[in-house]
Amino acid sequence: MSNINESIFEINLELIKQNINYLKKELNTKTQIIAVVKAYAYGHGDVEISKYLEKINIDAFWVADFEEGVILRKNGIIKPIIVANTSPKSINQIIKHNLEIVVYNFRVLDILSNKFEDINIHLKFNCGMNRFGFSINDINEIKEYTKKYKNLKVKSICSHLSSTHDESRDTVTQKEFSMFDQICEKFEMKMYKHILNTNGVIRFPKKQYDAVRIGIGILGINQQPKLKQIGKLTTTISQIRTIKKNEYIGYGGKFKSTKTMKIGIVPFGYADGLDKKLGNQNGQLYTNGKKCNILGEISMDSCVIDLSNTNVNEGDRVEVFGPNNNIMDICKKINSTPYEFLSSINRRIKRIYI
């Protein structure tokens, strides 16, 4: 572990393999796994995570935009890389770096049809989420494009589910499955199909089709206890001080002490990814296994914790999240999601891979 960086995001790559093996138990042996590594692999570092996934034979990668795909290519990733949000301006770069394209409107389809190069494309349809995607009524016109323009190599049909995490909306999810089935039936050409995310694999494995897209599950962040959180983020205590009764802490004096207290100043704030809603004793950090309330407002680069019931020294490690402080539990406290929480972890935080 580095002795230079105070804040360290420690990532256990071996747990990725365990998580994938667990999810594979829900899948047929021929079902492909597309690893979703967008948004810097949800804050974990896309290059290192992707290199490990390729080493354990993941089938393909899913990124948000062409820049994420180019970074992976330039760092030696060979497997297919699928770009989800394709801008017409980025198509030449996508072709240059042998990336594959999710196509969801005729604007992009028109541009691709005028290219000379063979291009692997994935047709995305809207099944009720009303985000990206063609309509079921577009299918005949799409077929004409693919017949006319032989450079367009359709590799898959895909869609996105809105509510696999929410049992109360299972009726909606079933309607989305039904729509996807109707869309798939209208295509005679050979291609694979995918719609499931991590929660979908866990809750609706019979709808795995030919491939699944797994992102947060690779990282072990889910209500499923057999998935193991691969990351632990720790920082240090920079300063310890004692305050007297009726003293204030932080911007705006939101915390006022009711007794003499020992407090610790921690060099980790909202610019590092610590949500401000965890301030004012709503959230906790851990040191030496002890839970320490966050006191007052969280600052940009620091926060203050209550050390009254601890025996710690300046320089001791503080757990932001990890074995004692699960990300799912943190997100419940602030009415957030792991996706939002993880993607906010600043890239200045040192990542160390085990």
Alpha-carbon gap, residue 326 to 322, rounded angstroms: 6
Report, as an integer, the average pLDDT of 219-224.
Answer: 91
DSSP string, 73-125: HHTT--S-EEESS--GGGHHHHHHTT-EEEE-SHHHHHHHHT-SS-EEEEEEB
CA dihedral angle for residue 331, residue 334, residue 336, residue 339, rounded to 10 degrees: -50
Confidence of residue 3 (pLDDT cuts 50, 70, 90): low
DSSP H helix total and E strand total for the chain: 11, 19
Dist CA 342 CA 44 (whole Å): 8
Q: Among residues 230, 235, 274, 219, which one has the least CA distance to residue 1?
A: 235
Average pLDDT on 3-13 reads 91
The letter for the amino acid at 155 is K
Residue 351, classed as helix, strand or coil, is strand
pTM exceeds cut of 0.85: yes
The CATH class for the domain spanning 231-325 reads mainly beta
Residues 63-114: tens digit of each pLDDT: 999 999 999 999 999 999 999 998 889 999 999 999 999 999 999 999 999 8
* pLDDT, the chain, mean: 95
Residue-wise pLDDT tens digits, 104-157: 999 999 999 989 899 999 999 999 999 999 999 999 999 999 999 999 999 999
How large is the average pLDDT for residues 313-334?
Answer: 96
Q: Residue 304 — pLDDT band, cuts 50, 70, 90?
A: very high
Tell me: the pLDDT tens digits for 30-47? 999 999 999 999 999 999
Query: Residue-wise over 156-180: b if at least 16 C-beta within 10 A, else e?
Result: bbbbbbebbbeeeeeeebeebbebb
| 144: Cβ contacts below 8 Å, ≥ 6 apart | none
**For residue 188, is pLDDT > 90?**
no
How sure is the predictor about 223, in pLDDT bands with cuts at 50, 70 and 90? confident
Per-residue pLDDT tens over the stretch 237-296: 999 999 999 999 999 999 999 999 999 999 999 999 999 999 999 999 999 999 999 999
What pLDDT score does 263 carry?
A: 98
d(CA 103, CA 123): 5
The domain ranges of the chain are 13-214, 231-325
Tell me if domain 13-214 and domain 231-325 are identical in fold.
no
Domain 13-214: CATH superfamily is Alanine racemase (3.20.20.10)
pLDDT value of residue 87: 86
